[in-house]
Amino acid sequence: MKRIKKELVELLSLTERDVFRALLQDAALYKLDIVTDFNNYIILNPTVEVALVSHIDTINTKHGGRLKKKQIAINGDIVSIHGDAIKLVKKETKGKQDLFNTHLVLGGDDRCGIFIMRELIKKGLPYCYMFLIKKRVGVLEWILFVKDTIQNT
């Protein structure tokens, strides 16, 4: 359990490019076939019919932020941001006071998906693993990849 927590915190604190490099290292380590355009996606085991898909980018990337490991808290099954990572401000919206996180977001939605996919890769489970660098562009790339694969088989 300690290894899992440590690796998850590490993954949550990486930049997009760092995650990209880690995935390429995984592919080399586990001798997986790779298809990538280095801008929109990485596909590992591209000829396997069942695909798992996750995106690498987070809202932090868009806003230029990066979580530090010490800002990530894991308490049982709950992963959260703590400490000075959260700065709340009041914003006047139609007479209502709303709180907005103006600094960083955990971005755990698909970083957790990436974490799970990497665990499956380590176990040697035979899936096609696709990691999208830019979620929306990557989905279009995925559709084109699937169409091209179908046409060429």
Give me 150's structure tokens.
């179908």
Domain, as residue range, for 8 = 2-151
Convert the pLDDT of each residue in 86-108 to its tens digit: 443 334 344 444 444 444 556 56
Below-70 pLDDT ranges, the chain: 59-66, 82-109, 134-139, 141-142, 145-146, 149-153
Q: State the pLDDT at residue 123.
A: 96
Are the beta carbons of 145 and 43 closer than 8 angstroms? yes
Q: State the pLDDT at residue 122.
A: 96
Q: Residue 121's closest CA among 57, 58, 49, 52?
A: 52
State how many domains the chain has: 1
Q: State the pLDDT at residue 88.
A: 39
Percent of the chain with pLDDT over 70: 65
Convert the pLDDT of each residue in 61-82 to its tens digit: 554 556 777 777 777 777 777 6
